[in-house]
Structure 1
C-alpha cells in the first residue's frame, strides 16, 4: 500500500501519526512491564477492572487510555507511572523516520517497520551504554 499525501492533509497525518506512535510505544512499555512482573493479560485486566481484550488493544496501541488509567496500570504492576511513558527522543525519531518515508511515497509495510525498529533499538542501546 502506498501513502499519497497532499499538502492539505500532511500536517493532520503527522499529528495523527505522532499520537499513534506514542500509544504504540506506551503499549510496548506496558507489555514489557507486565511480563517482567509475571502477570498475564487476564491477571492485569482483573486488577484494573478492564477486559483482557482491552489490555491486548492497549498493548498494541489500538486503545487509548485516560490519564488516571496510567496510575491504575502502574500501581497494579508495581512500577512508577513514568516507567510507562515513552522516551520522547525515540518517539520523535520514529516520527521523523515516518515523515521521510511519507514524503518519499514509500509504503509502510512490515519490512519498513522492521528497519525503523532496528534503528531505534540501536540508538536505545547506545544511550543505555553511555549511561552505564
Structure 2
C-alpha cells in the first residue's frame, strides 16, 4: 500500500466521523467526552491527520451510536476496487 493510499483512508475515515457527528448534532467536545478522548484528538482525526487504533475506532463508533461496519459502509470510508493511475 502506498503512502497516498494510507493518507486517503485516514482522510475518508475523518470525514465519515465528522458527517456522523454532525448528523447527531454533537460538538467535537461532546463526541470526545462520550468516546473518552480529547477534543483536539477528534479535531485532528476529522482532518485525517491521525491513524486511530482499532480500540479508538470502536470507542468512536459506540459514541456515534453506529456499528463499525455501518460507519465504514454508510459513510464511504472503504473504496471498492479503486485503481489509481498516474497521468
- Say yes or no: TM over 0.5: yes
Match of 1:89 among 65, 80, 83: 80
The TM-score with structure 2 as length reference comes to: 0.84
SS at 1:78 equivalent: coil
Indicate conservation of the 8 Å contact 2:18/2:46, yes or no: yes
Note if 1:59 corresponds to 2:50.
no
Other-structure match for 2:18: 31
Q: Which runs of 5+ in 2 are unaligned?
A: none
SS at 2:22 equivalent: helix
Runs of 4+ in 1 over 4 A off after TM superposition: none
Per-residue deviation, residues 21-62 of structure 1 (Å, max 9, x unmatched): 001000000000010011110000111121111101101110
- State the superposition RMSD in angstroms: 1.7
Q: Which runs of 5+ in 1 are unaligned?
A: 1-13, 105-132
User: Could you say which structure has the higher helix fraction?
Assistant: 1
Say how many residue pairs are matched: 83
